[in-house]
Structure 1
Amino acid sequence: MADAPARPMKYPYTFSAKIAQFPFKFYVQNQWIWRYWMIGIAVASPVFYKIHKMANSPENVSIWAEKRKKEAAAHH
């Protein structure tokens, strides 16, 4: 990441200047919610990936296609 500007604005009026001067490091180190949010994403990602792989497996897709075909036939 680039170094902080030598003379930051007294009031950052542009959106990019506000982002550049926001103390992200301070908040991540001193507020619990950011740490638990990151830990939660790290723990939940493999679980969601596994569910996604199981739900979109070729066998499951064909089962659901057959169910939709039977349901559509019942409505006609």
Structure 2
Amino acid sequence: MADKAAEIGRPMKFPHTFTSKLVQFPWKHYFTNQWIWKYYAIAVVVSIPVFKKISNLANSPENVAKWAEIRRKEAAEHH
């Protein structure tokens, strides 16, 4: 069965479909030779604690209660 797959598996001279273009794209070359991928990973790791801290501040019980009170007053003004 593996011999059959090896016979069929030769690449097209020019890939016509989007899927064949994705398969033949040199992903490994770009991941190893371009700086953007390394810095993107570093930026994601560094920004996760910052966004977690912002989320904790925004969803604190005091802030939620303050938001609910503001919305209650706003709803009372309209009715």
Q: State if a TM-score over 0.5 links the two structures.
A: yes
* C-alpha RMSD of the superposition: 2.2
Q: Could you tell me which amino acid in structure 2 is paired with residue 18 of structure 1?
A: K
With the length of structure 1 as denominator, give the TM-score of the two structures.
0.70
Flag structure 1 segments of 5+ consecutive residues without an equivalent.
Answer: none
TM-score in terms of structure 2 length: 0.68
Larger relative contact order (C-alpha < 8 A, sep ≥ 6)?
1
Partner of 1:9: 12
Pair member with larger Rg:
2
Counterpart of 2:67 in structure 1 is: 64
Structure 2 CA distance for partners of 1:58 and 1:21, relative to 1, 3 Å: farther
Deviating 4+ runs (over 6 angstroms): none
Aligned to 1:51: 54
When you count helix as a share of all residues, which structure comes out higher? 2
1:33 aligns with 2:36: yes
User: Number of residue pairs matched?
Assistant: 72
Displacement of 1:50: 2.3
